[in-house]
Chains A and B, each alone.
Chain A
Amino acid sequence: MFRLSKEQLQALSLHLQDDFLKRTASHLLANFPAELAKHGLQSNQLEQLIQRGVNEAESFGVVHEHDVRLYIECMVVLHPRFAWAQDTPWFGEVLRREDLSGTEKMDMVHDQLVFGLYEDGLE
Chain B
Amino acid sequence: MRRVKLPLNQQAARIANEKIRAPASNVLREKWLDAYSAAGGMVENETPSQRTPKSPIQPCTLGYIELQYLHVDATPVCGARYEIRSPEGQLLYEGKLDGSGRVRINGVPREQSSFLFHFEGDPARYTPHKKPSQKPDPDATRSMVEGVGRWLWGTLQGDFNKNPSMSQIAVNTLLGLIPLVDQALDLRDIIAGLKDIIEYYTEDEDQQKKHSSILGLSYEVWLWLNIFIIAMGCIPELGSAIKGVFKGLVAFLVDAGKKVDGLNPRQVQALWEKLVRILNHFGKGNAHEWLKQLPGKIDGWMDEAVKKIRTCLDTIESLLKQAEEHANSWFVRWIVDTNVLDKFTARLRRFRSAVHKAYVRLDSMKAQVNQWLRDQFSKILPGKHLFPQPGSTGGRHTRIQHEELPPDNKSGRALAKELAEKRAKEAAESAAAKVHAKYGSAKGKPNCAAAVVDQRTGREWTATSGGGRYDEPIHPDLDKRIKDIPEEHLGKRSPTNCAEFRALNEALNAGARAEDLVIYTVFTEKVPKPAHRCPRCQHTVVGVSSIPSD
Contact = CB atoms under 8 A, between A and B. Distances in A.
Nearest to A16: B56
B6 A9 contact: no
Contacts of B49: 64-66
A1 B90 CA distance: 13
A64 B57 contact: no
Given A66-B49, A73-B7, A110-B1, 17 more contacts: A12-B56, A13-B56, A16-B56, A17-B53, A20-B53, A54-B54, A58-B54, A64-B50, A64-B52, A65-B53, A65-B56, A66-B48, A70-B3, A110-B4, A114-B3, A115-B23, A115-B32
Contact of A65 (B7, B23, B29, B48): B48
Contacts of A58: 54
A70 B55 contact: no
Nearest to B20: A115
B70 to A, nearest CB: 32
A36 B4 CA distance: 20
A111 interface: yes
Interface of A: 1, 9, 12-13, 16-17, 20-21, 31-32, 54, 58, 63-66, 68, 70, 73, 77, 107, 110-111, 113-117
B48 A77 contact: no
A63 B54 contact: yes
Residue among B24, B54, B88 facing the most chain A CB atoms (10 A cut-off): B54
A88 to B, nearest CB: 16
Given A13-B55, A17-B54, A111-B29, A31 B3 contact: no
A12 B55 CA distance: 10
A66 B13 CA distance: 21
A65 B3 contact: no
A32 B56 CA distance: 25
Residue among B6, B29, B53, B55 facing the most chain A CB atoms (10 A cut-off): B53
A1 B4 CA distance: 41
Contacts of B88: 1
Contacts of A31: 6-7
B8 interface: yes
A107 B1 contact: yes
B71 to A, nearest CB: 36
**In the A-B complex, the 3 residue pairs with the closest CB atoms:** A16-B56, A66-B48, A20-B53
A93 to B, nearest CB: 20
B22 interface: yes
Contacts of A1: 88
Contact of A13 (B1, B22, B32, B57): B57
23 contacts: A9-B57, A12-B56, A12-B57, A13-B55, A13-B57, A16-B51, A21-B53, A31-B7, A54-B54, A64-B51, A65-B49, A65-B51, A65-B52, A65-B53, A65-B56, A66-B44, A68-B53, A77-B6, A107-B1, A107-B3, A114-B13, A115-B22, A117-B22
A77 B22 CA distance: 21
B8 A114 contact: yes
Nearest to B88: A1
Nearest to A14: B56
A107 B4 CA distance: 10
Given A63-B52, A64-B51, A70 B57 contact: no
Nearest to A54: B53
- What is the predominant secondary structure among interface residues of chain A facing chain B? helix
A74 B55 CA distance: 22
B132 to A, nearest CB: 57
Contacts of A110: 1, 3-4
A110 B6 CA distance: 9
A26 to B, nearest CB: 14
B6 A73 contact: yes
A115 B57 CA distance: 34
Interface in B50-67: 50-57
A96 to B, nearest CB: 20
Contacts of B29: 111, 115
A121 B55 CA distance: 34
A117 B23 CA distance: 8
Contacts of A65: 48-49, 51-53, 56
Given A13-B57, A17-B54, A117-B24, A64 B48 contact: yes
A2 B136 CA distance: 71
Nearest to B32: A115
Contacts of A117: 22-24
Contact of A68 (B6, B8, B52): B52
Contacts of B54: 17, 54, 58, 63
A73 B4 CA distance: 12
Nearest to B55: A13
Interface string B18-39: 0000111000010010000000
Nearest to B44: A66
Nearest to B51: A65
A110 B3 CA distance: 7
Contacts of A32: 7
A65 B407 CA distance: 64
A1 B415 CA distance: 51
B48 to A, nearest CB: 4
A17 B56 contact: yes
Nearest to A57: B53
A66 B52 CA distance: 8
Nearest to B33: A114
A113 B50 CA distance: 23
